[in-house]
Amino acid sequence: MKPPKFSYLAPESVKNAIAMKQELGENARYIAGGQSLVPMMNFRVAAPSALIDLNGLTELSKVSLSSDSALNIGALTRTRRLENDPKITGAHPLLAAAARHIAHAQIRNRGTIGGSIAHADPAAELPGIVLACDAEIELQGPRGFRTVHAVDFFESVFTTALEEGELLLNIKFPRWPKDRKWGFQEVSRREGDYALVGIAAWFDLDATSSISACGLSAIGAADTPVRLTKSEAALLGSVPSLPLFEKAAAEVTADIDPFDDVHASAIYRCEVAAALAIRTLTEAWERDT
Amino acid sequence: MSKSYIGKSIRRLEDKRFLTGTGKYIDDVKLPGMASMAILRSPHAHAFITKIDMKSARAMEGVIDVFCANDLEDELPEIPLRLAPFTDFQRFLQKPLANKKVRYVGEPVAVVVAEDRYIAEDALELICLEVEPLPAIVTVQDSLKGETLIHDAAGENIGTQYSVSRGDVEAAFKGAFYTRREHFRTNRHGAVPLETRGLIAEVEPTKPLLRLHGATKVNFFNRRHLAEAFNLPESSVELIETDVGGGFGVRGELYPEDYLVPIASYRSGRPVKWIEDRRENLSATNHSRDITCEMEIAATADGNILGMRASVQGDMGAYIRTNGGVVPSKAAQFLPGPYRVPSFACDVQFLITNKTPVGTFRGPGRFEANFCRERMMDLMADDLNIDPAVLRHRNLLTPEELPYRIGELVPGDPDATLDKGDYPSALDRLLTECRYSDWIDKQDPSDGKLRSMGIACFIESSAAGPPESASITVLSTGDIEVRTGASSVGQGTETGLAQICAEYLDIEIERVEVSHGSTTLVKTGGGTFHSRNTVMAGNATRIAAKKVKEKAKELAALRWNCHPTELTYENGEVCKSPDRFTLQELATFAETRGDILSADAIFDNEKKLSYSYGAHAAQIALDITTGLVKVERYWLTEEIGRALNPAMIQGQAVGGVIQGLGGTFLDHFIYDDDGQLLTGSFADYLLPTSSELPEITAIALENFPSELNPMGFKGAGEGGIVAVAAAVGNAIARALKPYNISINELPLTPDRLREALRGAESLK
């Protein structure tokens, strides 16, 4: 389990990194936390000719609130910081809660939010959160800067809207109202394993206590994280109640398309996704915000 | 004696170096001029090799040697049978490199020796292996059909088969009030120690010498066979033991690599290192536990067992390795367990398949047998409406019935007898600890989870095999050196033997240093398996210490010009009041005479086994919606005769439970229909971690010291694991009783539980 030979480059700026990538071409890879790429290299599943190491680019690990209260998280921000930095946990408690389910502390210390999103494992937590929360993913590439909405970002297993040479700069989460209800639940074989299936949910209530806005997503339930639009439609405009949640959960299977693997069958994932939807919405509803 | 160490929870002497990172494991050993070896392993489960093109690999810079079976002048030896060597097995022995045919994914095909491991792995990618694929046999059913033969010359895929029995089982079933038949399965999984295997071979061209670092477990047996294989006198083969990060049965057996690394060293003339990586480890190191058991029980209306009959099928993988037929044969032998089973019959079949070969893993056959039998006991308890603990009490052998002859249930093994003990009281102690009589299975209103408790009883044999050696030397520095032929695989052997030595020599334990395993330390040794070390090496150490005391007296008698019988020994000194000589003084005196203050000892228990016994209880919480089970509390009692070091025994029991929980819920080698291993990395082969641990209460009982060794020890290394699947399976079955779901197959995964529940719910 030793990787084949590769060259190593440490760019000094984003611009520099992109230029290196452009020069080295498709076989070069950006590396951030390396928590997925390095094992793949050791298994020789990935054999990049060169690694462009982003870890020195401090400009990529900034966390800030913009004037519209959107939360900007630099791509190089470590997963561990998502759960611990008060700037993030206060501004986006759902993100912080989901981050705690990712692997183990040692891995969270190295792994980055941008790495997880760019890697696009369909069972990973962070892609599910950006999708549920309508985050904007900011990219910089040889042809300049662009923004991709999370809904358009995840295309298939390990496949995203990132184009050759593009680098994930920043994830922009829209304003998180203080009294927003939210929940996150997943089932995994062991604590820290990839989710067999998981559900993220949030909703806002209007003056009549009806659901005025909501976002639900499922992970481990298809070849990408999935936005549960049919469940959302079932919730919108209604007053939260267990029967309402059950009605919304009944729509989950219409949006997902899970697979069999050695850990669980597609049927398992379907039924547990629906059950978790009820639990997640209940968790959200019972949350004292 | 004033210094008392036996029975004390002495802190482990080896822990300082382990915890501070100064242990010396095999990969820490670096020799000058050392080359690195990597192995091309078959990616096919079953295929004829048509061509191995090694040209480009050989041409690569930094590559020293590339070879396959065809390149070797001498025919490769077969890996020998060490245990349960049933005669038919000779047809299925493995050679270190595949020749003409590959029979499992992971089988060594070619070897690369290079300047470093990176280059070696690069070169592996350049070897072109061409094959003609054959159908893969991945189930015992297909193996039995024999439509495709894995070893053509054998003419069948049945490794061997036999029947064993005692009493008149036909008669027992004929008249029985109650009978039940069930099909059980324990899944293929393995020991998976955290340190993978590794070896370094060095040969000295000027004299016949083969030195192999990284050896452990059964070094003297392995030396004998390696000497034979390499046509060397035994004295020219040295097996050197380093620190070992877990054995559990799999480490230290002879594997293909134990031959390939020396061959690589001979060919290249350089020391050669091979470190098994995790990907190799999961397909190259022995698998275990892969048993199906069709079992039937007959009993009276009161639940008194009249008879058991069973057929056990073991999936042995592609070859029979050193452990022979241990796993299925012990599963059969231990099926009746601690109970009064007047008649018993079992057919045992060993089937060859296109999978990694099977060997022993902590509690081999026992883990499997306990799961089958103890599940059956609970099913019978429910059928007859008898409390599971009461039913067990009715059937447990009583102290008056022990010793109890269980008969010759393994062909070629001597007639076996359960030694003295009190099985019911070990169960009673467990029931008290877990407050069994107060416990009520229920759906908890607080979280909707089903909470229940399951129990299981077990017996576990220990200390089989050849005699063990120990030698004690008092150095002129005053330090005491203990050497033994037994190995340490991390379980605390150094501490345990130091305790015994210090106690019997009546000295500070800090003065004792224990060296173990290497064939250069002692003349002979039995090795480390079957919970042997404390029983065998412990008693040998005691004998050696006593001899050292006698020798010390003889030396002192020379100094004082008196007779040794006039002298006493206390506090590490020989006394002739008011004068005294310390051991150090006597060692120095011995040196001046060209002598040495030391003694060798051998302990032989004449293969009489001591049986530990006890009971386990698991309290679980089951989330019926997700099928997730949490073991919330776990208890076990284990009669071990006498506790040498209670803290270490506690560690063995707790570690055993954790490893058993892995086997119950997580560990699983899954193969697809083509014989590909689907759980070939730690992303998919799941080991238990600290996150999954319940609170574990492990109670070692010392009520019945073994009468089969002077110190009264029984083995204590395996009682923690052997009944875990049984107790947890029973707890889950109790929780799901209303659904009438069979919990007969391991592992108990959320997916499987949900699948069973779906079936049950749809019937409702």
CA–CA separation, B721 and B662 (whole Å): 10
User: SS in 3 state form for B635-687?
Assistant: EEEEECCCCCCHHHHHHHHHHHHHHHHHHHHHCCCCECCCCCECCCCCCCCCC
Residue B543, pLDDT above cutoff 70: yes
Do A133 and A77 share a structural domain?
yes
Choose from A193, A197, A283 for mutation: most chain B CBs within 10 A.
A193
d(CA A237, nearest CA chain B) in Å:
28
Angle at the Cα of B400 from the Cα atoms of B399 and B403, rounded to 5 degrees: 75
Looking at residue A196, which CATH number applies to its domain?
Answer: 3.30.390.50
Alpha carbons within 13 angstroms on the beta-carbon side of residue A169 total 19
| Nearest C-alpha neighbor of B64 from the set B93, B44, B89, B34 | B34
pLDDT value of position B205: 76
> Which residues face A172 on adjacent strands?
A72, A136
Q: A135 and A150 share a domain?
A: yes
Q: Report the pLDDT averaged over residues B197-202.
A: 98
Instruction: Find where tokens 């070797």 sit.
Output: B72
| A265/B750 Cβ within 8 A | no
Mean pLDDT of all residues belonging to chain A: 97
CA distances from A169 to A29, A98, A145, B18 (A): 15, 21, 9, 43
C-beta atoms of B692 and A190 within 8 A? yes
Of B118, B684, B758, the CB nearest to A262: B684
Which 3 state secondary structure label does DSSP give A65?
strand
Q: Where are the domains of chain B?
A: 15-22+465-603, 31-134+191-284, 291-464+607-763
Rounded CA separation B333/B330 (Å) = 5
Q: What is the CATH number of the domain that holds A125?
A: 3.30.465.10
Q: What average pLDDT does this structure show over B615-638?
A: 98
Helices B366-383 and B724-735: crossing angle in degrees, nearest 10, is: 30
Distance CA B289, CA B367 (A): 8
Contacts of A195 in chain B (CB under 8 A): none
B651-695 confidence digits (pLDDT tens): 999 999 999 999 999 999 999 999 999 999 999 999 999 988 999
* Phi, psi angle pair for B760, to nearest 5°: -70, -40
pLDDT at B37: 98
Instruction: Write the class of the CATH domain B15-22+465-603.
Output: alpha beta
Query: Alpha carbon A61 to chain centroid distance?
Result: 16
Residue type, B517: G
Q: Spell out which residues of chain A touch residue B755, defining contact as CB-CB under 8 Å.
A: 265, 267-268
State residue B415's pLDDT score. Answer: 87
Q: Kindly write down the DSSP assignment for every residue of B726-739, as one continuous string.
A: HHHHHHHHHHTGGG
Q: Which of A80, A283, A98, A83 is nearest to A188 (CA)?
A: A98
Helices B366-383/B388-395 angle, 10° precision:
110
Pick from B278, B683, B755: CB nearest A1: B278
Q: Say if A89 falls within a structural domain.
A: yes
Q: Chains A and B: how many Cβ contacts under 8 Å?
A: 70
* Interface contact flag, B751 A4, Cβ < 8 Å: no
Mean pLDDT for B546-570 is 97
What percentage of chain B has pLDDT greater than the value 70? 99
Using CA coordinates, name the residue in chain A closest to B630: A190
Dihedrals phi, psi of B461, to nearest 5 degrees: -80, 160
> Same domain for A191 and A140?
no
Chain A residues with CB-CB distance to B670 below 8 A? 262
What φ, ψ does residue B244 adopt, rounded to 5°? Answer: -130, 130
Interchain contact, A43 vs B692, CB within 8 Å: no
Beta-strand relationship, A71-74 and A63-65: antiparallel
At which residue do the structure tokens 């002497």 appear?
A: B13
3-state secondary structure of B299: strand
Cα–Cα dist A73/A60, whole Å:
8
Is the per-residue pLDDT at B727 higher than 90?
yes
| HSE toward the beta carbon, residue A188, CA cutoff 13 A | 24
For residues B175-193, average pLDDT: 97
DSSP H or E segment with residue B53: strand B47-53
CB nearest B754 (choices: A3, A4, A271): A271
Task: Compute the residue count for chain B.
Answer: 764
- State whether A195 and A264 are in the same domain: yes
The domain that contains A18 carries what CATH number? Answer: 3.30.43.10
In a shared domain, residues A156 and A213:
no
Is A141 a domain residue? yes
* Shortest Cα distance, chain B CAs vs residue A43, angstroms: 8
Distance (Å, rounded) from C-alpha B748 to C-alpha B630? Answer: 11
Cα distance between residue A182 and residue A214, in whole Å: 9
A64 with A143, same domain?
yes
Q: Chain A residues with CB inside 8 Å of B685's CB?
A: none
Give the amino acid at A199: I
- The 3-state secondary structure of B140-206, one letter per residue: HHHHHHCCCCCCHHHCCCEEEEEEEEECCHHHHHHCCCEEEEEEEEECCECCCCCCCCEEEEEECCC
How does B202-226 read in b/e, with b if 16+ C-beta sit within 10 Å?
bbeeeeeebbbbbbbbbbbbbbebb
Domain that holds residue A226: 181-286
Distance (Å) from the alpha carbon of A118 to chain B's nearest alpha carbon: 20
In this prediction, residues B80-91 reach a mean pLDDT of 95
Nearest chain B CA: its distance from A174 CA (Å): 33
Choose, out of B122, B625, B628, B669, the residue to mutate when testing the contact with A (most A CBs < 10 Å). B625
pLDDT digits (tens, 9 = 90+) for A33-45: 999 999 999 999 9
Number of domains in chain A: 3
A189/B750 touch (CB, cutoff 8 Å), yes or no: yes
Q: What is the CATH number of domain B291-464+607-763?
A: 3.30.365.10
CB contact under 8 A, A2 and B666: no
ipTM comes to 0.96
Report how far apart, in Å, the C-alpha atoms of A124 and of each of A103, A162, A218, A242, A262 are.
10, 18, 10, 28, 17
> Taking CB atoms and an 8 Å cutoff, what residues of chain B touch A279?
625
- Kindly provide the b/e burial profile for residues A99-132, where b requires at least 16 CB atoms within 10 angstroms of the residue's own CB: bbbbbeeebbebbbbbbbbbbbbbbbbbbbbbbb
Nearest to A1 among B125, B279, B679 (CB): B279
Q: Do B692 and A191 touch (CB under 8 A)?
A: yes
Interface of A with B in 33-92 (CB under 8 A): 43-44
Question: Do A197 and A120 share a structural domain?
Answer: no
Nearest to residue B597, comparing CAs of B562, B559, B628, B623?
B559
pLDDT in tens, B368-419: 999 999 999 999 999 999 999 999 999 999 999 999 999 999 999 888 999 9
Closest alpha carbon within chain B to A193: B683
**Residue A234 and residue A198 share a domain:** yes
Burial bucket for residue B605 (CB in 10 Å: 0-12, 13-18, 19+): buried
User: pLDDT per residue over B504-523, tens digit each?
Assistant: 999 999 999 999 999 999 99
Sign of the C-alpha dihedral computed for residues B523, B526, B528 and B534 taken in this order: negative
Query: Does residue A145 share a domain with residue A77?
Result: yes
Test mutation, A271, A280, A286, chain B, max B CBs within 10 A: A271
Residue of B349, B293, B355, B358 lying closest to B137 (CA atoms): B355
Does some domain include residue A45?
Answer: yes
Q: Contact, B237 vs B519, CB < 8 A?
A: yes
Confidence of residue B74 (pLDDT cuts 50, 70, 90): confident
Instruction: Pick the closest to residue B726 from B305, B337, B304, B298 (CA basis).
Output: B337
Residue B761 binned pLDDT confidence (cut-offs 50, 70, 90): confident
Contacts of B174 (CB under 8 A, 6+ apart): none
Which pLDDT belongs to residue B231? 94
First-to-last C-alpha distance (Å) of chain A: 48
Given CA atoms A237, A239, A240, A243 in this order, what sign does their dihedral have? Answer: negative
Give how far B41 is from chain A: nearest CA, Å.
13
Residue B586 confidence (pLDDT) above 90: yes
Enumerate the β-bridge partners of residue B573: B570, B582
Mean per-residue pLDDT of chain B: 96
The model's confidence at residue B2, banded by pLDDT at 50, 70 and 90, is low
Nearest-angstrom CA–CA distance, B561 and B47: 78
Exposed / middle / buried, residue B597 (Cβ in 10 Å: 0-12, 13-18, 19+): buried
Our measurement of the distance from residue B186's CA atom to the centroid of its chain's CA atoms, rounded to an integer in Å, reads 17
Phi and psi of B612, rounded to 5°? -80, 165
As a whole number of angstroms, the distance between CA B34 and CA B29 comes to 10
**Which is it for strands B237-240 and B210-213: parallel, antiparallel or unpaired?**
parallel
Q: Evaluate whether the domain defined by B31-134+191-284 bears CATH number 3.90.1170.50.
A: yes
Is the pLDDT score of B764 beyond 60?
no
- Cα-Cα-Cα-Cα torsion B239, B241, B245, B251, nearest 10 degrees, comes to 20
Closest of A102, A115, A72 to residue A219, by C-alpha: A102
Q: Is the confidence at residue B79, as pLDDT, over 60? A: yes
Please check whether residue B200 is in contact with residue B260, taking contact to mean a CB–CB distance below 8 angstroms.
no
Measured between CB atoms, does A189 come within 8 Å of chain B? yes
Domains B31-134+191-284 and B291-464+607-763 belong to one CATH topology: no
Whether residue B691 and residue A192 make contact (CB cut-off 8 A), yes or no, is yes
- CA dihedral sign, ordered B73, B74, B75, B80: negative
pLDDT under 50: residue ranges of chain A: none
